[in-house]
Amino acid sequence: MLGEAAAFESLGGVIFEQSPLVSLEHGSPVVLKTAGGTIRADRVVMAGNAYLNGVLPVLEGKSMPCGTQVITTAPLEADVARALLPNNMAVEDCNYLLDYYRLTRDNRLIFGGGVNYGGEDPANIEALIRPKMLKAFPQLADTKIDYAWSGTFLMTLNRLPQFGVLNDNVYYAQGYSGHGVTCSHLAGRLISEVMTGRDERFDAFAGLPHLPFPGGRMLRVPLSAVGAWYYQTRDKLGI
């Protein structure tokens, strides 16, 4: 991300950090308000994903913020790291609530997993994720955890991303459902295409049907948790 930010700035782009968007008013131009000022733009790209905080309420019923947690070990001996992932590739499993992990350049293991529907952070991330790591790599039982953090992603009911345009001048791409590292780069390319008159590939995604989560905003979290428990149980039983 830091490299992409530097590339953006090298091309003349300007990044304003710590300037959360308070509201968006549709029109020509679009009016965007922050705590420190107002911006008017002919066209806007909304790429806030799970962090839009009610700015586009028309989309909220068809997506749900979810939290995922990550821990990082202390640096491992080179031979230990190679034994964990001999091909040095990023891995994710095929369970409904999947785990994912990879090695860093300095031979730390980054291990993530778990889902908190609604996006709230757990009280103790290491206590939640460490047992998952040890199930995959029991040889790390005595390894120290140096870092633990949580992040929020945006999930859709069908797990497919949401692309579209509102009022002909507010473009959005979101709802990558945990696969944003790859899909968000594709989204950037397709938004650049549609804004320059090439809409075929963007429209292929924009035409995907998206249904609202059952239960609305009040019940979508508990109902999703019940569904996840069912599928997680199937995973444990090997069904």
| The architecture CATH gives domain 2-63+157-208 | 3-Layer(bba) Sandwich (3.50)
Q: How many residues does the chain have?
A: 239
Q: Which part of the chain has CATH 3.50.50.60?
A: 2-63+157-208
Average pLDDT over residues 173-197: 91
The alpha helices in 27-90, defined as continuous H runs, are 57-60, 78-84
Q: Which part of the chain has CATH 3.30.9.10?
A: 65-155
Residue with tokens 């955890």: 145
| 159: nearest Cα among 106, 234, 210, 227 | 210
Which of 50-54, 131-135, 209-213 is most confident?
Answer: 131-135
Q: Indicate the CATH number for domain 65-155.
A: 3.30.9.10
The alpha helices in the chain, defined as continuous H runs, are 2-10, 57-60, 78-84, 125-136, 180-195, 200-206, 216-237
pTM assigned to the model: 0.82
Average pLDDT over residues 74-103: 92
